[in-house]
Amino acid sequence: MRLRDCHNFHDFRTLARRRLPGPIFNYIDGAADDEVTYRRNTVSFERCDLVPNILRGVETIDLSVIVLGQKLEMPVYCSPTALQRLFHHQGERAVAAAVAKFGTMFGVSSLGTVSLEELRKAHKTPQAYQFYFHKDRGLNRAMMQRAKEAGVDVMMLTVDSITGGNRERDLRTGFSIPFRLTLGGMLQFAIKPLWGINYVTHERFKLPQLDEHVDMSGGAMSIGRYFTEMLDPSMSWSDVAEMVRAWSGQFCLKGVMSVADARRAAEIGCTGIVISNHGGRQLDGSRAPFDQLAEIVDAVGDRIDVLMDGGVQRGTHVLKALSLGAKAVGVGRFYLFPLAAAGQAGVERALGLMRTEIERDMKLMGCTSISQLSRDNLRFR
C-alpha cells in the first residue's frame, strides 16, 4: 500500500498502522475507557441527512471563511496535537507546511515537538497556540508573553484536560514520554526498524514549548507527571477571565460542551469556543460535539465564533457542522494518520482530498459559498 492508494481516512489509518510501532499507533488511535465517545463522535453525523437543492449554477465555489478574526481558505483547520515528531520525523514542520499550502489554520500544541517561533517564522497562515493552565501563574504569564512575542494569532486554552484521560491502550503498551515500554511494547518497536532509524538519525526529540520552563529531560519529568504535578485542577472562570484580559486578542476555549459554559465563555470576553471532547480521549461517555452544536450555536452564536472538532472524516461531516452554525471545523486524527503514513506529502494529500470533497459536496448541495449553508439543508432522523 502506497500514499496514492489512500483515498479516505480509513486508508490513511491502515497505512499509518503499517508504518508505526504499535504503541505509537495506539497512542494516536486510542481514546478513554471503552472508547464509546470516540466512536460516537463520527457516528453522530449519521443521524443527520443533507437535503440538496438543484439547478442553482454552481460552477465556482468559494470555501473561505472568517473565523476568530482569521481568513481561512477552507473551513477545516488542523487541531493542536502533541508529539508530532514521534509520528513522523518531519512532525509539525510537515503539518504546518501543508496547512500553509491550503491557506488554513494550524494549532500548535503546548506539547509540540517544534517551536512555535520556528513555525511562525516559516509560514504566514494563521497560527493558534494551544495552552494548558499551570499552577504557577508566573509560568502562565511567561508562556503567554512568549506567544505574543512570537506573533501567535489565536490563543486556545484547553479546558477539558484538568486530569489525564484513562487511555488503556497506552497502559498496556507502556507508552509514555520518556519511553517506559512494556516488553510487548518494545517488541512492537523492534519489528518497525525504519521508524527507529528515522527517529535516531534526526534531530533529538524535544518539547520546545515547555523545555524552557520545565525540565522534561532525562526522565526528570514525564508527560504524565507534567499533567498531574504542574497543571492546575483548581483553574476557575476568574483565572481564565484574567488570562483573556492579559492576552487582549483572539482567545478561545477548547473543550466546551455545555450551553452554560459557552455562555460563560462569552461573558468573560472569549472570542470563540471549540466544542470538543478531545477526540474521545478524556471523558468517555461524554456527548459528541456534533450533537451539542445546535444548542450552543443558538445560545451564543451571535456573540462568539463557535467551532467544533471530533470525529470529522468526510467533507459531508464538515458541511453538516457548518449548516448547523459552526464557523469552522477542526480535525485531529484526520491529519495525524497521513502524517505518520507519509509526512508532509501525506498531510497534503489528506487536506487536498478534504478540499475536493467539500467542493464536490457544495456543488451537489447547490451552494456556492459557505454562507449559503443553513439548517434548511438538514433533517435529523
Ligand X SMILES: Cc1cc2nc3c(=O)[nH]c(=O)nc-3n(C[C@H](O)[C@H](O)[C@H](O)COP(=O)(O)O)c2cc1C
Strand pairing report for 65-67 and 70-72: antiparallel
346 belongs to the binding site for ligand X (CB under 6 A)? no
- Residue 268's SS3 state is coil
**How many residues in the shown chain lie near ligand X by CB under 6 A?**
25
- From the candidates 88, 89, 134, 278, give the one annotated as an active-site residue: 278
What is the distance between the alpha carbons of residues 78 and 96, in angstroms, rounded to a whole number? 9
How far is Cα 309 from Cα 289, in angstroms, rounded to an integer?
7
C-alpha cell of residue 70: 482569521
331 binds ligand X (CB under 6 A): yes
User: Which residues between 135 and 164 bind ligand X (CB under 6 A)?
Assistant: 158
Give me the residues paired with residue 309 across strands. Answer: 330
Residue 190 amino acid letter? A
Residue 19, amino acid: R
Contacts of 303 (CB under 8 A, 6+ apart): 266
Which position among 115, 140, 276, 344 is part of the footprint of ligand X (CB under 6 A)? 276
Residue 316 interacting with ligand X (CB under 6 A): no
Residue numbers 108-137 binding ligand X by CB under 6 A: 109, 111, 130
Query: Is residue 123 flagged as an active site residue?
Result: no
Question: Nearer to ligand X by C-beta: 27 or 226?
Answer: 27
Considering the rule CB under 6 A, would residue 41 count as an interface residue with ligand X?
yes
- Considering only residues 93, 254, 317, 349, which one is a binding residue for ligand X as defined by CB under 6 A? 254
What lies within 8 Å, CB to CB, of 60 at 6+ separation is 368
Using the minimum distance from each CB to ligand X, give the nearer residue, 334 or 367. Answer: 334
Q: Which of 310, 315, 338, 343 binds ligand X (CB under 6 A)?
A: 310
One residue of 81, 125, 127, 271 binding ligand X per CB under 6 A: 81
Phi and psi torsions of 8, nearest 5°: -155, 180
CA distance 123 to 2: 28
Candidates 333, 347, 351, 355: give the one binding ligand X (CB under 6 A).
333
- The verdict on 332 binding ligand X (CB under 6 A) reads yes
- Is 77 or 189 the residue whose CB approaches ligand X more closely? 77
- Of residues 63 and 288, the one with the C-beta less far from ligand X: 288
Nearest to 283 by CA among 171, 169, 170, 159: 159
For ligand X, the closer of residues 173 and 367 by Cβ is 173
Specify the residue, 30 or 367, whose C-beta has the smaller distance to ligand X: 30
CA distance 115 to 117: 5
Quote the least distance from Cβ 308 to ligand X, whole Å.
Answer: 9
d(CA 364, CA 56): 10
Q: Which of 23, 311, 315, 325 binds ligand X (CB under 6 A)?
A: 311
How many whole angstroms separate alpha carbon 118 and alpha carbon 206?
13
Q: CA 259, 354, 12, 123: dihedral to nearest 10 degrees?
A: -90
Q: Enter the DSSP assignment of 309.
A: E
Is position 297 an interface residue for ligand X (rule: CB under 6 A)? Answer: no
Q: Which of 6, 15, 16, 28 binds ligand X (CB under 6 A)?
A: 28
Residues that bind ligand X (CB under 6 A): 27-28, 41, 79-82, 109, 111, 130, 158, 254, 276, 278-279, 281, 309-312, 331-334, 336
Residues with catalytic function: 278
